[in-house]
Structure 1
C-alpha cells in the first residue's frame, strides 16, 4: 500500500491560479495525491490546494486549475 498522501511537483506552484468551476482565484500551495476512498478500495486523485486572498485554503481537482 502506498503512503496516504504524496506531494507532487507542479509548474504552477506558488503562482496565482483560478479554480475553473468556482471562479475563485488564489495561490497554488500544493498538489497532493490522496487516497479519497472511504470503502477500503483505494481511489487516488491529485488535489490542488489553493489559498485565497482571505488566507483560507480549499482543494479542487488539479485538472480544474488554470493560471490566473
Structure 2
C-alpha cells in the first residue's frame, strides 16, 4: 500500500492547544498535535491511524494516544 499523501502531517482538530484528557490513561494536558501515522509493526501490513499528542500539565514528554481517546476538559 502506498503511503497516504498526508502521512506525518498535522491533521486539523477542534481541541488543538486546548486542555484535554486521555481517557485510556487519565493523563490531562494540552493537545499539541494530531498526525496520521503508520501504527503497524515491522513485517505486518500498514495500518494508518490518527494519533494525538498530549503534553501533560506541568510539561514533560508528550503522550501519544488514539485521537478517539481524547476528550475536552
Place the TM-score, normalised by the shorter chain, in its bin: 0.7 to 0.9
- The TM-score with structure 1 as length reference comes to 0.87
| Aligned residue-pair number | 68
Alignment equivalent of 2:19, drawn from 1, 7, 16:
16
- The TM-score with structure 2 as length reference comes to 0.82
What's the counterpart of residue 51 of structure 1?
55
Q: How does 1:1-68 map to 2 (within 5 A)?
A: 1-2=2-3, 4-37=7-40, 38-55=42-59, 56-68=61-73
**What 5-or-longer segments of structure 1 have no aligned partner?**
none
* TM superposition outliers: structure 1 runs of 4+ over 6 Å: none
In proportion to residue count, which structure has more strand? Answer: 1
Structural RMSD (CA): 1.4
